[in-house]
Amino acid sequence: MEIRKDSIDGIYLDRLAKSKVLMSIFLLFFIILFSRIAYIQIVRGERYLELSQENRLSREMIHPERGLIYDRAGRIIAQNRPSYSLYITPRIIPRQKDLVTQLSDVVTAEGAPLFHKHMLQEHFRNNPPQKDALSFFNKEPSVGNFKKELKNLKTESGTPLFNESFLDSLFAHSAINEYSLQHALRANSLQFVKKRLLKIRNREGEPLVDPDFLHDRIQTAIQNPRGKTLIAEDISIEFVSIIQENSSLLPGITIGTESRREYPYGKDLFHIIGYISEINSEELTQFSDKGYYRGDKIGKAGIEAQYDSLLKGEKGWAFIERNSIGTNLGILEDMPYIKPKAGKNLFLSVDAELQRMIARQFHDTLQGAVVAMNPQNGEIYALYSNPSFDANTFSLAEEEVKQNWNDAQQDPRKPLMNKTITANYSPGSTFKLITALAGLESESITPTEYMEKPCTGGMRFGNRYYRCWYEPGHGHLTVYDAIKQSCNVYFYQLGLMLGDDVINNYAQLASLGVRTGIDIPGERAGYLSGRIQHNLRHAHRGPGWTWTRGLILNLAIGQAQDLTPLQIAMIPTALSGYDSLYTPRILSEIRSPENAYIRSTEKTTSASLDFDSSSVNAVKEGMWRTVNAPGGTGWRSRHDIIPVGGKTGTAQNPHGENHAIYVGAAPIKNPEIVVSVVLANAGSGGSVAAPFAKTVFDYYFSQTSEGRTTLEKFKDRDSEGWTQ
């Protein structure tokens, strides 16, 4: 193989030129780099040298303000307050000096050392001082007691360390530089810092920290001397100022500012707002791409969890300059800086005062839930579950949080559980509205038609006798009166006419047995009975539990289903007579940290309801009669002016007292508010639950602007029937 060769003569000059061009290009870049290096090292050198001194520069995260939460009337229901915590960084605390160093650092007014170091060393070798003499100054050193303390110093054998006459002559000749004395004798070992911290008391004489707790924390801190260890959480502003005044005596102690969440409505809104708490490792891996860091607070339930990404804001980063004892000197200029962005403010559809009014009516022992919502767009007005928990607990110091949290978790009444969306109750007679609707829609019955068999206090089906709640019997009934008097026998017959599939078809349209899609996490789907569902659920229990037609009777009167209080509220919502069923939602508007409008949430349709208006009106008439006609079971929810429609329910509870249930809508012609009340083990729906609903209607039509407008309209009218 022959290598191609260029002729020397022709190419020499070309080569020379090309090598010069290449070299010039490279040189040009080298010169640019050299100027950059020289700029960094000479022009900016001083600054960088300063920055390179130990502990001067740290890269720190700046936490953004979490977004605020408001209710529908603009009341603040979740806000932030500043809180101060103390941290210790053992590495910053200077080591304690030995006696020789301390004494030899003291200088006279002329600047000459008081003691000569090698003389001291010589002296101490011959007369070893006592052990505790190594740090003989516990109080602020002054010239006055310096001499006194020196005289008190003893050797190991107990004789004075310094000859008294020597000290007298020494002090007679030289005046001590007070600054050097303070500087030299200030012993800053960890033990001294600890002692000083324990001495700090506020005006009431309360100590800053508990001695045992501080001891534990310092032991932890020693394991990680470079890092910051928390020693006191959420301290008062008074302590902050004491510590700042004495910061020179407390090296390595830094004050951290953080913001804590505060919920002005406390217990009343716990299940809606939820709470925030430190992110756990599971969530860290789950949301690894969302920019969370260990130690961040994250929403754990309710709105705080659902909209955490909106509320949390974006973290800032900055290079913070700190002096040698850890004091923050501020954000470093001309260094990269990412400003934190505060989280968005959320406006909810909830009415905090309504929620509070509902909460006040509950005894702590009563378990139950109340839901109020607008059927025209799905906005939730109230969503209360009792008993509740005060989320402000999470803003207390760690120890108290743990205690309260454990108590709440072990409470058999489950205060942490949001019963409105997770607890299952039988809807009881309120479900009869759905059965009635199914019958009318499928044209099995007409509104004015009487049911075949009269109610005689019960009916026989198969080999069993199924009772009505009213033993004397209701006699012949139309659908209106069957609803009004909640007659079981009527609905047993209707159920048998329709079958489980037809009834469940209509139930599912109303979001029963499926998640409603409300915008807080943890919702449960509930359970509608029926041939397939029943057999699936009881498959493991053997042949005795298979579906029989007799179970349709239970299904038709609402004793077979498990529904959440929110789903129970969907029953009157579906019967409002509007074209669509809207997904319940709590968030209504998102605003910027300055409360400038960003966007509002649109109502979303979860099912379109193309019911015949005559069937819906017939059920509504029944509901109206339930409340307003003589003998109706729901008369306790009657409103003076507004025509209310409702349905009571009493769910049989094999384990104890019956559950009281009520659903209602007002004004019944074009409902603006629907309510569901579920009170566990409280008795009958008509007597216990209906009055609860009345207070909600009263509030709505007197305290809210929308309600008052409607009230005004109705005042002018004759309020006898609702259809006029």
Residue whose CB is less far from other proteins, 45 or 128: 45
Please report the beta strands in 219-315, taking only residues with DSSP state E, as ranges in sequence order.
229-235, 253-262, 276-278, 297-299
Residue whose CB is less far from other proteins, 46 or 718: 46
* Dihedral over Cα of 408, 414, 419, 422: its sign: positive
Spatial distance between the Cα atoms of 273 and 584, rounded to a whole number of angstroms: 15
* CA proximity to 441, closest of 571, 615, 623: 615
Residue whose CB is less far from other proteins, 8 or 172: 8
Least separation in angstroms between CB 10 and other proteins: 11
On the CB side of 230, CA atoms within 13 Å amount to 13
Residue whose CB is less far from other proteins, 31 or 109: 31
Cβ distance 363 to 388 under 8 Å? no
Please report the beta strands in 555-697, taking only residues with DSSP state E, as ranges in sequence order.
580-582, 587-591, 597-600, 605-608, 645-651, 659-666, 673-679
Tokens of 611: 């019911």
Least separation in angstroms between CB 65 and other proteins: 19
Residue whose CB is less far from other proteins, 21 or 539: 21
Least separation in angstroms between CB 595 and other proteins: 18
Residue whose CB is less far from other proteins, 294 or 541: 294
Least separation in angstroms between CB 338 and other proteins: 7
Residue whose CB is less far from other proteins, 59 or 116: 59
Alpha helices (H) along 453-590: 479-485, 488-498, 500-509, 531-537, 550-556, 565-574
Tokens of 157: 């054998």
The residue type of 135 is S
Say which residues have a Cβ less than 8 Å from residue 129's Cβ, sequence separation at least 6: 99, 153, 154, 155, 156, 161
Convert 196-239 into a string of H (helix), E (strand) and C (coil): HHHHCECCCCCECCCHHHHHHHHHHHHHCCCCCEEEEEEECHHH
Tokens of 151: 């005289």
Please state, as a whole number, how many other Cβ atoms lie within 10 Å of the Cβ of residue 389: 24
Least separation in angstroms between CB 316 and other proteins: 10
Least separation in angstroms between CB 592 and other proteins: 12
* CA proximity to 96, closest of 138, 134, 129, 42: 134
* CA proximity to 82, closest of 68, 97, 65: 65
Spatial distance between the Cα atoms of 634 and 419, rounded to a whole number of angstroms: 24
Least separation in angstroms between CB 8 and other proteins: 5
If you count them, how many residues does the chain have? 724
Residue whose CB is less far from other proteins, 36 or 476: 36
Residue whose CB is less far from other proteins, 17 or 532: 17
First and final C-alpha spacing in the chain? 110
Residue whose CB is less far from other proteins, 19 or 280: 19
Least separation in angstroms between CB 248 and other proteins: 25
Tokens of 170: 């020494």
* CA proximity to 545, closest of 526, 560, 563: 560
Least separation in angstroms between CB 297 and other proteins: 20
Q: How far is CA 523 from CA 271, 421, 431, in A?
A: 12, 5, 20
Least separation in angstroms between CB 132 and other proteins: 35
Binding site for other proteins (CB under 8 A): 1, 3-8, 11-12, 15-16, 18-19, 21-23, 26-27, 29-30, 33-34, 36-38, 40-42, 44-49, 51-54, 57, 59, 317-319, 335-338
Least separation in angstroms between CB 33 and other proteins: 5
Residue whose CB is less far from other proteins, 16 or 539: 16
